[in-house]
Amino acid sequence: MTLLALLLPLGLCAGYGALGPRLLRRGPPALAARLLTLGGLAAGVCSFISLGLLGFAFLAQLPDIAQRGHWSAAALRAASPVSRGVAFVALAALGVVTLAAVWVIARRVWAVHRTYRACRRMARSSPTGLVVIDDERLMAYAVPGRPGRIVVSRDLLSRLDRNERRVLLAHEQAHLDNNHHWYQAGAAIAAALNPLLTPLVPAVELALERWADEAAATDIGSRSRVASALGRVALLRLHAEPAIPPAAFGVTSHLALRMRAMLDPPPRVPRVVVGALVASLVLTAATTAGAGERMEGMIDTARSAVACHPAGALSAKASSHSGQSAHPDPMGHRPCRIPTRGS
């Protein structure tokens, strides 16, 4: 039971990473981006806590730590749902995951700090928020900042008609207005917390692009015009030199897919899918909390084992206990019950 509680978050992470993007593909992209990012982070944190509990199960069995905590290492070993080997692997994984998460967070914060600083420096040189680069590559970027900047190459601007220009600007502005860089960061952190959530990174990226497309369509008042602007840019792009290497993680912008979506009717909220995903997250959080409580209970039991055998509890002999054992209570403690594996 406890083992299940510890493994469920990991399993749900795998399911969330694999199924979440697929289930939400047809839904409104703003909802998909939010649910995938926040849900991914929640699942990642739950699996991180589960690893932490398993790792703690290993540490707590070390004689030194057991002595300091005044509990019986042997009783804990007997009650532990996993072998020490498994607990050790979890501890090692916990270390790796912690380092990876700290690294990803630090790099993201640094990267965003840099773009914010760059935008601040451009306060005077580009008061409108639009930066045009005299560059023959076809480029358009949204640079996060307060306020952010839209960067476009002159060559791209000169090849677009007025409708396409409006779509481009509205799309990039939507990235900035909705703080899309934080969603990207959230997905990357979730993937660092649990590699099973890695599929969320490209899925969130696509959802953010779609989100900006939908926002541009609302802005301009026509979905088909956004679609044709995307198509024009795609065709321009095909006949141009590769501008900038594909974004990180080898993700494509899926221009054809985005066009298709803009030609289809507006997406509707998939209530059943949203309900199922939220329910699975609540279940994961509840199981993780339950596993934490059980761990606390195990420690309590191991503490009372020390109370029963003040001298011998730390020795390996105690692990030979099986079933319930009640002892006379010379020190006035309550009778001890040492649950063993399987109870």
Site for another protein in 37-96 (CB under 8 A): none
Nearer CB in complex with another protein: 77/180: 180
Which of 19, 31, 65, 255 is in the footprint of another protein by CB under 8 A?
255
In the numeric block, the tokens 């339950």 are attached to 290
Of 158 and 320, which has the nearer Cβ to another protein? Answer: 158
Applying CB under 8 A, among 64, 68, 85, 128 the residue interacting with another protein is: 128
Check residue 25 for interaction with another protein (CB under 8 A). Answer: no
> Can you tell me the distance from the alpha carbon of 267 to that of 224, in angstroms, rounded to the nearest whole number?
14
Q: Select the residue interacting with another protein from 209, 287, 304, 309 (CB under 8 A).
A: 209
Q: Site mask, another protein, residues 98-127, x = CB under 8 A?
A: ---------xx-xxx-xx--x--xx-xxxx
CA distances from 211 to 34, 249, 304 (A): 10, 20, 57
**Three-class DSSP category at 89:** helix
Stretch that binds another protein, among 51-59, 89-97, 163-171, 316-324 (CB under 8 A): 163-171
d(CA 244, CA 142): 14
Can you read off the two tokens belonging to residue 317? Answer: 């002999």
> Does 214 participate in binding another protein (rule CB under 8 A)?
no
CB-nearer residue toward another protein: 108 or 309? 108
Q: Angle at the Cα of 135 (from 117 to 157), degrees rounded to 5?
A: 95
Core vs surface per residue 109-139: b (16+ CB within 10 A) or e: eeebeebbeebeebeeeeeebebeeeeeebe
Q: Which one-letter DSSP state was computed for residue 104?
A: H
- Tell me, residue by residue from 259 to 278, as one string, x for binding to another protein by CB under 8 A and - for no binding: xx-xx---------------
Report if residue 156 touches another protein, rule: CB under 8 A. Answer: yes
Question: Rounded CA gap, 98 and 33, in Å?
Answer: 25
Q: Which of 247, 278, 289, 316 binds another protein (CB under 8 A)?
A: 247
Pick the closer one to another protein by CB: 27 or 148.
148
Pick the binder of another protein from 18, 65, 232, 274 (CB under 8 A): 232
